Every structure is written in structure tokens, then in C-alpha cells.
């Protein structure tokens, strides 16, 4: 069974540009999470989809970030316009059930560098 995949693995862009990150969850997983790790800090929650609906987007830093999950399959996270502080590693995770005990399986992350 394929794991969570993310694309691209790396992205280097200039301040003010737009970047779109993609996450493909494990097949059959209704729950999809986005997290971010800024250099030297904790991995922090951004938002959670249940199928195509946003269950919780309390971790989204500002309105420059837009996440979608059309059709309840893959998800995209767009940053527009990107700022220097957006640099970090963006992780996607998926789980089957919406439950605290459900294990979230993570992808390899997208390393974003904004210059």
C-alpha cells in the first residue's frame, strides 16, 4: 500500500511568488492534515480536512495560505504571496478515522525556501 506522498520535495522561490504544495493521502483515508516545521521550532498543526470539508483550520497562519481538497482525495496548499517566514518543511498526514487514537501517517514533507 502506498504511503502519503507529497510534491514537490523541495521548492525554492522568491519572496512575493506563489507556490502550491500537493499531498496525496493513503487511499481510503478520509482525514488529511497539514503541518509545518519552521527551522528550529516544533512541528505545528495548520489544518485538518475530513473528506473535502475543512474540519479545523485554526493553525493557518494568515490568509496568504489557502488549502483545498476537492473531491476528498488529494489536497493542495497554496502560499500566495510567499514571505521569508514561510520557509520550512510542510508535512502532510492522513488517517482513517476522525479520532484522537487514530495514528496519523506522514509524508516525506516539502522543503520550502523563500528567498
Partner 1 sequence: AQKVTQAQTEISVVEKEDVTLDCVYETRDTTYYLFWYKQPPSGELVFLIRRNSFDEQNEISGRYSWNFQKSTSSFNFTITASQVVDSAVYFCALSEAYSGAGSYQLTFGKGTKLSVIP
Indicate the DSSP class of residue 70. Answer: G
Contact status: 41 vs partner 1 (CB under 8 A): yes
Q: Which span sits near partner 1 by CB under 8 A: 15-23, 56-64, 66-74, 76-84?
A: 56-64
What are the CA-CA distances from residue 112 to residues 52, 58, 89 (Å)?
A: 25, 21, 6
- Contact partners, residue 24, CB within 8 Å, separation at least 6: 4, 5, 6, 7, 73, 74
Contact status: 89 vs partner 1 (CB under 8 A): yes
Contact status: 42 vs partner 1 (CB under 8 A): yes
Q: Which span sits near partner 1 by CB under 8 A: 20-28, 61-69, 73-81, 87-95?
A: 87-95
Distance CA 76, CA 22 (A): 4
Indicate the DSSP class of residue 97. Answer: S
Contact status: 2 vs partner 1 (CB under 8 A): no
Positions that interact with partner 1 (CB under 8 A) = 3, 9, 33, 35, 40-45, 48, 50, 55-56, 58-59, 89, 91, 93, 98-109, 111
Amino acid at each position: 500500500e502506498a504511503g502519503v506522498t507529497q510534491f514537490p520535495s523541495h521548492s525554492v522561490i522568491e519572496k512575493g511568488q506563489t507556490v502550491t504544495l500537493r499531498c496525496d493521502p493513503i487511499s481510503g483515508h478520509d482525514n488529511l492534515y497539514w503541518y509545518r516545521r519552521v527551522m528550529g521550532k516544533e512541528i505545528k498543526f495548520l489544518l485538518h480536512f475530513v473528506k473535502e470539508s475543512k474540519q479545523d483550520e485554526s493553525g493557518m497562519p494568515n490568509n496568504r495560505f489557502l488549502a483545498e481538497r476537492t473531491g476528498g482525495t488529494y489536497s493542495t496548499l497554496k502560499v500566495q504571496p510567499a514571505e521569508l517566514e514561510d520557509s520550512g518543511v510542510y508535512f502532510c498526514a492522513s488517517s482513517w478515522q476522525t479520532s484522537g487514537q487514530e495514528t496519523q501517517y506522514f509524508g516525506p514533507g516539502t522543503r520550502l525556501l523563500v528567498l
